[in-house]
A and B are shown apart, each in its own frame.
Chain A
Amino acid sequence: MKIAVLSGKGGTGKTLVSVNLAAAIAPSVYLDCDVEEPNGHLFFRPKSIQREAVTVKIPAVDETKCNACRTCVEFCKFHALAMVGTRWMLFDDICHSCGGCTLLCPQQALHEVEKSIGEIQTGTSEGVTVRTGWLDPGQSSGVPIIRKLFAAESPLDQPMIVDCPPGSACIVMDSIRDADYCILVAEPTLFGLHNLKMVHELVRLFQKPHGVILNKCIEGDNPSKDYCLEQGITILESIPFDKTIGRLNSNGRILARELPQYHEMFTRLHQKIREVAGYETAADSER
């Protein structure tokens, strides 16, 4: 079963929830898809790490064959190619690796080369397989890294927790596409509500079963909770704002490994999700 943990923004406790859930139900697989700012490894401190580079294909020119016909420059929808005089130029940061220029060059002057944009690190931490995607600073899209994270072999019978990137952009869609269930984490503020609405729209668009965890709950108004009640969204759990949580969390400690009540809370959460997702009947179809 794949459980994706989402939030409209970072900082709402998405990593807290996914790390603790994965830790509480070990053996499990934890996938950090927040490739721009991965944080899960700071908690798990995984051992025996294996690294794997992630590359994309970019075009390269054979200058002796190019006759500056500009076919490629005119084709590239992303303006990643330019012809300066008769010199062929690539702005590799904005190339989307579509392969069109190489395919269409009438002189066959272009070929593709691999460019590294980041890496995947796999390690283990007390029964949790921790897979982290890292985008190199200065690179624009982490989507190829996320694809590769998902493509890796994982133990079929183990639940997989996916820590998604913040927001609702293209990169998030890639991380929830084959999730069986989505957990939305929300803060009790107007900002929190605004962000919750956006991810809610996203999971509805993909027709994913989902529920909300209200985090950092304090006395007083909770606009996010009101929204859940109004929309009939399952509230899976309310986590209070608690100095101990804040301290352990900011020091990279895992609550479920240190405090029995949180171990219990996250185990119960998993049980609840299995029930509402009707998981008993749905076989783990792929990968």
Chain B
Amino acid sequence: MKQLLILSGKGGTGKTTVASAFIKLSQARAYADCDVDAPNLHLVMQNLPVLDRTDYYGLPKAQIYTDQCIECDLCRQHCRFEAIHVNGTYQVDPFACEGCGVCAAVCPVRAIELKPATAGELMLYGDDRSVFSTAQLKMGSGTSGLLVTEVKKRLMAAAPSAELAIIDGSPGIGCPVIASISGVDLVLIVAEPSLSGISDLDRIVLTAAKFQTPVAVCINKADTNEGNAALIESFCEERGIPFTGRIPFDPMAVQAINTGRTIVDLDCPAGDAVREVFSKTLIQLGKGKSLTILSKKE
């Protein structure tokens, strides 16, 4: 299976718009949303029946049994995350607790236990053709990297024979992104022609390079700043990064999203452009190995 991950450094660049168009165009049998903090893909890909919903347990959190606590203060002194507060009794702030277990280990009277806590929900949608794996992290649960890994695992397990998996990534360069990069064959970066977009692009390229994952770049809303779009193209050329095309700003894109459709469901300039980006991306993805999807004309 080939895995294509779509990233943008920042949200709002149209990453999900591109991902949903790609899923339509490839008739991908396997796709996932790894933006577990703010998943959006299901909003445009909502026609599949639910196969499975599972509670996700992240790392356990500490709990203090106040009736046993002798107020020695050791747990508070040793907690590096400032998660233990004294408010009449000793209490754990569940948002700050990272579940490291130091407090339980130092407590002389065993008044602290690590208790499993639900950190979110994993959802698997599908029918006999396609599988869609996604998740939603609960507010304030800090284990998004682990949840991303879980979303991908469930996708691979549910669609082992799929030729191509399309993964909508998360914003930033931190733990969820690192977790989503692991094992993918190509990262397509959706860049925006702004100074911010260029800076974000640079940091995503550096991050992917750290994990030795090949990248390709396309520009969304390219005509909103031609000068910056040209800068991005030359940035790619200098670094030998394959460039897969420009997608124009298109008010129809907003309309498509607001009606739960993808830009290739409508006849619009952005839709045409994304078709070309798609075929060029597939060529990069297929380099070395043949993808039958390459020869299929959509």
A residues whose Cβ falls under 8 Å from a Cβ of B: 8-12, 15, 36-37, 39, 42, 75, 77-78, 93, 96-100, 103-104, 135, 137-142, 165-171, 173, 187-191, 194-195, 198, 201-202, 205, 218, 221, 223, 243, 246-247, 249-252
Contact = CB atoms under 8 A, between A and B. Distances in A.
A267 B192 CA distance: 29
Contact of A8 (B9, B38, B141, B210): B38
Interface in B1-17: 9-13, 16
A74 to B, nearest CB: 11
Nearest to B195: A252
Given A169-B144, A250-B224, A12 B100 contact: no
Nearest to A99: B80
B194 A169 contact: no
B271 interface: no
A140 B178 contact: yes
Given A9-B12, A98-B102, A252-B196, 19 more contacts: A10-B13, A12-B12, A36-B172, A36-B173, A36-B203, A37-B10, A75-B101, A99-B102, A100-B105, A103-B106, A140-B174, A141-B174, A165-B172, A166-B37, A169-B140, A169-B141, A170-B141, A243-B224, A250-B224
Residue among B81, B172, B207, B224 with most chain A CB within 10 A: B172
Contacts of A165: 172
B100 A78 contact: yes
Best-surrounded residue of B13, B100, B105, B141 (most CB of chain A within 10 A)? B100
Contacts of B98: 96, 98
B46 to A, nearest CB: 11
A249 B196 CA distance: 9
Contacts of B169: none
13 contacts: A11-B10, A11-B192, A37-B9, A37-B200, A99-B102, A137-B173, A137-B206, A140-B174, A165-B172, A166-B38, A168-B38, A190-B260, A249-B194
Contacts of A96: 98, 100
B95 interface: yes
A10 B144 contact: no
Contacts of B193: 250
Contact of B40 (A37, A103, A141, A194): A194
Given A11-B12, A166-B171, A167-B38, A190 B258 contact: yes
State the 4 A-B residue pairs at the shortest beta-carbon distance, nearest first.
Answer: A11-B12, A9-B11, A250-B194, A98-B100
Interface string B3-43: 00000011111001000000000000000000001101001
Chain B contact patch, size range: 35 or more
B37 A167 contact: yes
A44 to B, nearest CB: 12
Interface in B179-195: 192-195
A33 to B, nearest CB: 12
Contacts of A78: 59, 100
Contacts of B142: 169-170
A42 B202 CA distance: 14
Contact of B145 (A36, A99, A140, A191): A140
A223 B258 contact: yes
A11 B207 contact: no
Contact of B139 (A93, A140, A202, A246): A202
B245 interface: no
B251 interface: yes
Contacts of B170: 167
Contacts of A36: 171-174, 177, 203
Nearest to B210: A138
Nearest to A222: B258
B254 interface: yes
A78 B81 CA distance: 15
A40 to B, nearest CB: 9
B254 A218 contact: yes
Contacts of A243: 224
A37 B12 contact: no
A113 to B, nearest CB: 15
Nearest to B202: A137
Interface in B68-94: 78, 80-81
Nearest to A42: B195
A103 to B, nearest CB: 7
A85 to B, nearest CB: 26
Interface string B193-213: 111110110010011001100
A197 B170 CA distance: 18
Given A77-B101, A103-B78, A194 B174 contact: no
A37 B173 contact: yes
B66 interface: no
B38 A195 contact: yes
B174 A142 contact: yes
Interface string B238-261: 000000000000010010011010
A210 B105 CA distance: 40
Contacts of B105: 75, 100, 103-104
B238 to A, nearest CB: 18
